[in-house]
Amino acid sequence: MEQNFKIYIYPDGDPNTFYQTPRKLTGKYASEGFFFQNIRESRFRTLDPDQAHLFFIPISCHKMRGKGTSYENMTVIVKNYVESLIAKYPYWNRTLGADHFFVTCHDVGVRATEGVPFLIKNAIRVVCSPSYDVGFIPHKDVALPQVLQPFALPAGGNDVENR
């Protein structure tokens, strides 16, 4: 399976605004940035959707929020984007999105996608959040550990007793 496993990344969307790898790979959204970067460079990526086992929907709610987009507008953007993928490609309709996944980090991603119930219900959500009580569905969603870069020493240094 490891030799044949393939992931297709939808190429659509505006690469200059919402759907590209975030440039900033530091801070509390670093997990999202590293995920986007690594999946695009992965040996599992295929450019042929007919070979894919999973489909990645490259939405970056953090990037949208960084541009000052309101939560309500983010929901509309995400919904319109996913609906455009459904209309343009046949892959969502084969499984109603069960073989699709996307990343949501912190409350920004949760709030931007919660208004798109068919996305939350069917697709796999890769969640990087300090709290998983926000609609996390254990039988299908996946936890992505949070990464803060650069790695700094905790207050008190390496001396555990003085922290």
Using an 8 Å Cβ cutoff, are 22 and 64 in contact? no
Asked if the model's pLDDT at residue 25 lies above 60, the reply is: yes
Interval 95-107: pLDDT, tens: 999 999 998 877 7
Q: What's the pTM?
A: 0.81
Q: Average pLDDT, whole number, for the chain?
A: 80
- Structure confidence at residue 18 (pLDDT): 54
- Structure confidence at residue 145 (pLDDT): 81
| CB atoms closer than 10 angstroms to residue 145 | 6
Give start and end residues of each alpha helix (H) in 21-113. 30-41, 61-66, 71-88, 91-95, 106-113
